[in-house]
Amino acid sequence: MTTTTPGGVPYNDGNPNCGTTKKFGIVKSDSTCTNPSIIYDKNVPSLENIVLQHIAYFHPSKKGTYTFNVLEADDAAYIWFGKFAKDGFNSHNADITKFYGQPQRTPLTYQVEKAGAYIPFRLLYVNAQTCAAFSMTVKDPDGNEVVLTEKNKQFVFGCSKDSKAPPFDF
């Protein structure tokens, strides 16, 4: 993870982080927003002016209706499934949007036709200033929470050669 001075252009000559994570979100920073924070077990000096992007596959274990709910986004979160997750994504075609101060929206229901499918997924979280927070949940067709900030078993963030997911070309 690299940090960039506000107003600067980020540059990272390394590979993006690949693999799996058991976490999906950012625990709300303290009220002063001055303490070091943690993103996916990595200490970072600040959560001000950050962008967090997940490019992955939703890999559901069951057929049926899944419920996606973005509980909190300080400042904004966008989620895309399918075609737009891979190409042509923009703020107008996001399947889910959540903004700071916005009333809670109705959760998105997503119909899965085939268990074990690899469904392209993109999440873009943006924090423009001061404190940061992002959290979401995903419930399976039986109502079980399969994704929380501290729990994730149905997303593949794999870039490894042994991944069974098809290449995510973009």
- Residue range 49-67, pLDDT digits in tens: 888 888 888 888 899 999 9
CATH of the domain at 134: 2.60.120.1560
**Looking at the domain assignment, is residue 50 inside a domain?**
yes
**Looking at the domain assignment, is residue 169 inside a domain?**
no
Q: For residue 142, is pLDDT > 70?
A: yes
At CA 10, angle to CA 9 and CA 16, rounded to 5? 155
Q: What is the structure's pLDDT at 78?
A: 94
How many Å apart are CA 93 and CA 89, to the nearest integer? 6
Give CA 169 to chain center in angstroms: 18
Region class of 17: left (phi > 0), else alpha (psi between -120 and 50), else beta: beta
**Looking at the domain assignment, is residue 88 inside a domain?**
yes
Q: Show the tokens assigned to 110.
A: 């997503």
- Please indicate, yes or no, whether the overall pTM of this predicted structure exceeds 0.85: no
Cα separation values, 151 from 74, 139, 143, Å: 20, 12, 15
**Looking at the domain assignment, is residue 113 inside a domain?**
yes
Q: For residue 84, is pLDDT > 60?
A: yes
Contacts for 116 with CB less than 8 Å, ≥ 6 apart: 59, 60, 61
**Looking at the domain assignment, is residue 120 inside a domain?**
yes
| Residue numbers of the domain that contains 128 | 25-156
**Looking at the domain assignment, is residue 12 inside a domain?**
no
Total tally of structural domains belonging to the chain:
1
Q: Which helix (H) or strand (E) holds 71?
A: strand 64-74
Q: What is the structure's pLDDT at 165?
A: 64
**Looking at the domain assignment, is residue 112 inside a domain?**
yes
User: Where does the chain have alpha helices with state H?
Assistant: 83-86
**Looking at the domain assignment, is residue 17 inside a domain?**
no
Confidence of residue 137 (pLDDT cuts 50, 70, 90): confident
Q: Per residue in 111-132, is it b (16+ CB within 10 Å) or e — as a string?
A: ebeeeeebbbbbbbbbbeeebb
How many Å apart are CA 18 and CA 12, to the nearest integer? 14
- Number of DSSP helices (H) and strands (E) in the chain, helices first: 1, 13
